[in-house]
Every structure is written in C-alpha cells, then in structure tokens.
Structure 1
Amino acid sequence: MATASQPVASESVLRKILLSYFYVSIWIFLSFTVIVYNKYILDPKMYDWPFPISLTMIHMGFCSSLAFALVRIFRFVDLPSCMTSSLYFKSVVPIGALYALSLWFSNSAYIYLSVSFIQMLKALMPVAVYSTGILFKKDNYNSSIMLNMLSISLGVAVAAYGEARFDVWGVTLQLAAVAFEATRLVLIQILLTSKGISLNPITSLYYVAPCCFVFLALPWSVVELPRLRTMTAIQPDLVTFGTNSLCAFALNLAVFLLVGKTSALTMNVAGVVKDWLLIAFSWSVIKDTVTPINLFGYGIAFLGVAYYNHVKLQGLKAKEAQGEKKPTSAQETDEEAGELLRNIDGRELGEDQGDDSKA
C-alpha cells in the first residue's frame, strides 16, 4: 500500500514543482517585458516618446477599463463588502496619489538612466520601506536590521559610484519613486490590511487605477499637454501602446497567479533572478555599460537584501510555529505575508498592485 502511494505522492510533488516554475517563468517574462518595453518607448535613442506621464495615463486608463470589465461584467473577482465611500477617500485616494507619483517618477527615470542601473537603485526598496515603517510606527527600530539596511545602501552607493552613465536628475527621479512607493506600501498595510481589507491585483487596479489616472491628469495638463499641442508630428502607434498596456495588465494577473499559487518568498526569489537577468540583458543586448564596480556594489546590496528576506522568512516561520499552538487571525497572516512582499522591487508598472495583502 505504501509502495503504491509513494509514486503518486512523488508525481504530485513533481507536478507542484513544475507548476511553480511555470508561474515564475510567466511572471519573470512579463515583468522583464514591461521594463524593457517602457525603456524602449521612453528612451530618446529608441522609440523617443519623451512623455512619461502620458504613457502612465494610457496604462492606467487601459487597466481601469479591463479591471472594470473583469469585476463588473465577468465577475472574475468579488469586491470587499466593507469598502465604503468614506473608506475609499480616506485610504484608497492617498494610496492612488502616491502610486501616481511613483509611476510618474519611475517611468521618467528611464529617459535618463540605463535599465541595469535602475535595477540596482531599486535594491534600496527594503531600506525605504523599513525606514518609512519606523516613521509611521509600523516597524520597531532594530540595530541589526538597520545595520543590514546600511549595508544595502552602501552597496547601492558603490554601484552608483561605478556607473558610467550617472545622471543626477535621473537618480533623483528614481530615488523619489522608491520613496513614494515605499510610503504607498506602508500605507496599504496601515489603511487597508489593518481594517481587514485584502486587495488582489485586479481589485487594486479597480479601485486605484481610476484614482491614479485623475491625479496624473493634473501634472499632465501643466507639464506635457502644452508640449503635445505644439508637436503635431508625433502620432502614437496604437499597436505599440496597446500591446505595452496589455503587457502591463497581464503582469498584474501574473502577480495574482504567482503569489496565489506559490508564496511571497517565491516571488522575492524570482525577483532577484529577474534583476540579474535584466542586468545581463541590458549589458549584452541594449549595450548599456555595466562596470565591474557596478556589479561589485550591486553584489553587496544583493547579499543585504537576501539576508533581510531570510530574516523575514524565519520570522514568518516562527509565527506559523506559534500558530500551531495558538490560532492566528487572517489579518495577522496578511500582515506577515506583507512583510515579505513589501520588499519586492517591482517598481515597473503595476507589478506591486496589491501584492502586500495577498499570499
């Protein structure tokens, strides 16, 4: 009996492993595609569409429409019943404003910086999230964790020192995007998870994308609309922008699939693999200059991020071990999963929508 069941169990484990690799591959491919596609559209040496706000608004409009169809027409997911208009304006609107700023600045950085260097700067996300968490009293100060954060910062500083195409304005934009994104992720935990509201990527887009579109319209009308009116020769390619927006939305579904079918840790590990692949692609295909000092600095930051994720995983395992003796609420489980997911550096469009409340 045991002998007969053993091959069945082995096949089940193998199937789960293969499915996990399949989900990871889809997410890495789509995340990779969105980053490179955005770079292609915005870079003056490539497609040369120097309007990051307009591009982001196209994404948000497209994602809003598809999210509405999936929620209201096809009933693909259910909306949280406790979401009221008051809660929406108190919680979702500030998150949408921060997300608009994060996307605006992050996409703008592609005009000035290489893909590889942007990925290196994104390694600062755990530092920004932890610092913001302390500021909002969501995390407690810990000297060992702060030392780890300083090692990550040192690694990024070394990578920046060795950057051949260092641009002060581009770095400023990307660091601002990281700061806004970190604040957004902390606010999601404080304002939504603490109220028992769990948003997956689709419902996040349903609530946040229209709000983000409105906030982006304000700077767009001042910064880019006057320029667009004077540049009559520019005609956006519907195929290019349509497929780009579709990839961005598909990435949200991939996040939903990956985190729902595997785990937050799996996505963190996959994110590290994706970063190294992007750096290699940027160097070999796009021909961006990647110096040895770049790689050395990012290697230090990478080890710091890996150790931070390891510590968070051990904390999550300890909570689970206690949960076997003492029941753990769904809210506490969401918050612990969020501790891992908040460190994902997917600041390309849409990758982080609702990740920190779904596991």
Structure 2
Amino acid sequence: MGKGGVNESVLKKIVLSYAYVSIWIFLSFTVIVYNKYILDKKMYNWPYPITLTMIHMSFCSGLAFILVRVLKLVEPVSMSKELYISSVVPIGALYSLSLWFSNSAYIYLSVSFIQMLKALMPVAVYSISVMFKKESFKTKTMANMLSISFGVAIAAYGEAKFDSWGVILQLSAVAFEATRLVLIQILLTSKGITLNPITSLYYVAPCCLVFLFFPWVLVEFPILKETSSFHFDWLIFGTNSVCAFALNLAVFLLVGKTSALTMNVAGVVKDWLLIGFSWRVIRDTVTMVNLLGYGVAFLGVTYYNYLKFQAMTSKEAQKKVQPADEEDAKLLEEREGSAVGKKDDDEA
C-alpha cells in the first residue's frame, strides 16, 4: 500500500509537471504567433509594436492592481521608495526595451528565424553574468557559447529573407532581456526579494508604460493620429492581452512547481514546434542551411542545459550531505565532551 502510494505520488508529480510544461508551451506559442499575426503587414497589418506593448502593459498592470489592491488575492511586497527606484525601475526600463524590440522584429523577420536567433539567450546571459561577476569565466563554458553562436551564424547565413534591421532589433531584445535577468539576481534576489508574476507586473508594468510612453509619442502617435481609418478591435487586442497575462502566470507555475531548467528544456521543444508551424502553416521559407545552423545551436543549448542539470544535481547532493555531516560533527563533539567529562571524573 505504502509502495503503491509512493508510486501514485510520483506519477501525480510527473503528470502535473507535463501539464505545466504543456500550458506554458501552448500560451507562449499562442502569444508569439498572435503578435506576429497582428504586427505582420501581410496578415492583420497593424505594425505598431510600441502601442501593442503598451496595450499589454496597461492590461497587465490594471489587472494586477485589482488582484493586489482591490481583491487582495495577492500580498504586495514590502518595498521602500529607494529600493523601488534603485531596483525595480532599471529592471522595468530593460523589460520595456526588450518587449518593444522583440515585438518590432516580427515586422521584419519570420517566426522561425526569430526563434533561431533567440537561441543566443544563454550566450548573452552567461556573457553579462561574467561581466557583472555573477559567474566565473570558464573556458569550457565559453567554448559551448561559441558553438551556439556559430550555429546561429550559419542559420542567419542560410536565411532566405534576411533583414539586417530585423536582426539588429532581435539581437538587441536578447541583450536587454539577458541584462534584465542578471539584474533581477543582483538587485532583487540577492536582497531576499522574490516577485511572483502578479506582484512583478504590479511593480514593473507601470514602469514599462512610463518608459514606452516617450518613444511612443515621438514614433507611433503621430502616425496613429493621421490614421483615421483605424478602429480599436476589442476582441483582437483584448484576447491578445489576456494571453500575455496568462503567459506570465504560466511562467510562475512552470518555474515555481518545476524548475527554471525545465523551462529551458521546454523552450527548446517550443522553438522546434514554432519553426515547424512557421514553415508548414505560415509558409515561411525555411532552408536546409537554416536547419543545419539551428541544429548546431540546438546541440549547444542542449549541452548547456545538461551542464546546468549537473550543477543543480551536485548542489542538491551537497545540501543532503551537509546535514549528515553536521549531525556527525555534533555526535563527535558530544562523544569528545563525554570522554573529557569521564576523564575529569576519573582524575577527581
């Protein structure tokens, strides 16, 4: 019975893990394809990435405010004004730039090629972590990063509809997102502050709105003002915003209930699905050189995830050994104390 209970518990955890992974892949897949549909000139033809990002952030910050302040379903984090300005504001600025540039790239590049460029994320995160001294430089790891970069370079060389401006936008988005992830560790996690998706949006989304407002006024507002034929489609932008908010919750579920490593592995699966979807459904051109290059990058990313898994397993093993070592040390100390006490009694 006990044995069966253990098996049932393990099975339940496995099923839930797969469920979290599936939900995250589905929502991430949906948001990417939906954004492409809205922004692409050949589809919905609404090429205003800053405005779209601001719609997402307005919806997410408004809903987060209701959940935190009105319904009180989530407790706000204890945060001083100084901490907010020094930590949350720069993270919000980087997040706004990351979202703006990544959404802009969908106007110029195919979904499949964007996913191939996103394979550079581990390279950017590792390089910036070394720069900020959060990680030590390792020749083996850097060789792996170079192999990923080499694979992406081959994929770019084989891209049928290569657009330099689109590539610059996507690479900038990767750089800003990687910097944001490293700064979260430096500015928040190191101070013992953890934000779930709702509190994260509650604090960060308003910052994004402020930072996006200025380029929006200069770049997109004048064009939208002259476009009298445009009518806000509540169904399209409403469902798109709901998907974006749900994706944030799915990230929290996936990382909170499994691990960040699981999310990385699931991301690789999602990328292949998106490449296949882009090729077969959207009819984007995917060349053999594209696939060869991404295959090389994919092997590099897989090896990177394997190294992460080894490091995580080693860390968990050390945690399990440490209490045992402490117990042994305590017993040894007690025995030595007893021996000294006995010796003192004998001498007395």
Report the counterpart of residue 287 of structure 1 in structure 2: 283
3-state DSSP class of the match of 1:314?
A: helix
Alignment map for 1:94-243 (pairs within 5 Å): 94-243=90-239
Question: Is 1:57 aligned to 2:54, yes or no?
Answer: yes
Report the counterpart of residue 37 of structure 2 in structure 1: 40
Alignment map for 1:313-332 (pairs within 5 Å): 313-326=309-322
2:261–2:308 Cα contact (<8 Å) kept: no
- How far residue 17 of structure 1 moved from its aligned partner, in angstroms, is 1.5
3-state DSSP class of the match of 2:108?
A: coil
Q: C-alpha separation between the residues in 2 aligned to 1:11 and 1:147?
A: 43
* 1:138 partner letter: K
* 1:195 partner letter: K
* 1:51 partner letter: Y
- How far residue 75 of structure 1 moved from its aligned partner, in angstroms, is 2.4
- How far residue 79 of structure 1 moved from its aligned partner, in angstroms, is 2.3
* 1:207 partner letter: Y
CA deviation string 1:269-317 (max 9, x = no partner): 1111111000000000000011111011001111111111111121122
Report the counterpart of residue 298 of structure 1 in structure 2: 294
Q: C-alpha separation between the residues in 2 aligned to 1:224 and 1:91?
A: 29
Report the counterpart of residue 330 of structure 2 in structure 1: none
- How far residue 245 of structure 1 moved from its aligned partner, in angstroms, is 0.2
Identical aligned residues as a percent: 73
Number of equivalent positions: 323
- How far residue 69 of structure 1 moved from its aligned partner, in angstroms, is 1.2
- How far residue 8 of structure 1 moved from its aligned partner, in angstroms, is 2.4
Pick the aligned partner of 1:274 from 270, 273, 292. 270
- How far residue 76 of structure 1 moved from its aligned partner, in angstroms, is 2.5
Task: Mark the structure with the bigger radius of gyration.
Answer: 2
Hey, which bits of structure 1, 4+ residues long, moved more than 4 A? Answer: none
Report the counterpart of residue 87 of structure 1 in structure 2: 83
Q: C-alpha separation between the residues in 2 aligned to 1:233 and 1:206?
A: 34
Pick the aligned partner of 2:65 from 68, 77, 87. 68
Q: C-alpha separation between the residues in 2 aligned to 1:53 and 1:268?
A: 27
Instruction: Return 5+ residue gaps in structure 2 as ranges.
Output: 324-348
Normalising by structure 2, report the TM-score: 0.91
Structure 1 or 2: more helix by fraction: 2
* 1:58 partner letter: I
Pick the aligned partner of 1:15 from 12, 22, 33. 12
Q: C-alpha separation between the residues in 1 aligned to 2:247 and 2:141?
A: 31
Instruction: Return 5+ residue gaps in structure 1 as ranges.
Output: 328-359
* 1:159 partner letter: A
- How far residue 70 of structure 1 moved from its aligned partner, in angstroms, is 1.4
Normalising by structure 1, report the TM-score: 0.88
Please say which of residues 4-13 and 210-219 is displaced more in the overlay: 4-13
- How far residue 95 of structure 1 moved from its aligned partner, in angstroms, is 0.6
- How far residue 324 of structure 1 moved from its aligned partner, in angstroms, is 2.1
- How far residue 255 of structure 1 moved from its aligned partner, in angstroms, is 1.1
Please say which of residues 66-75 and 162-171 is displaced more in the overlay: 66-75
- How far residue 20 of structure 1 moved from its aligned partner, in angstroms, is 1.4
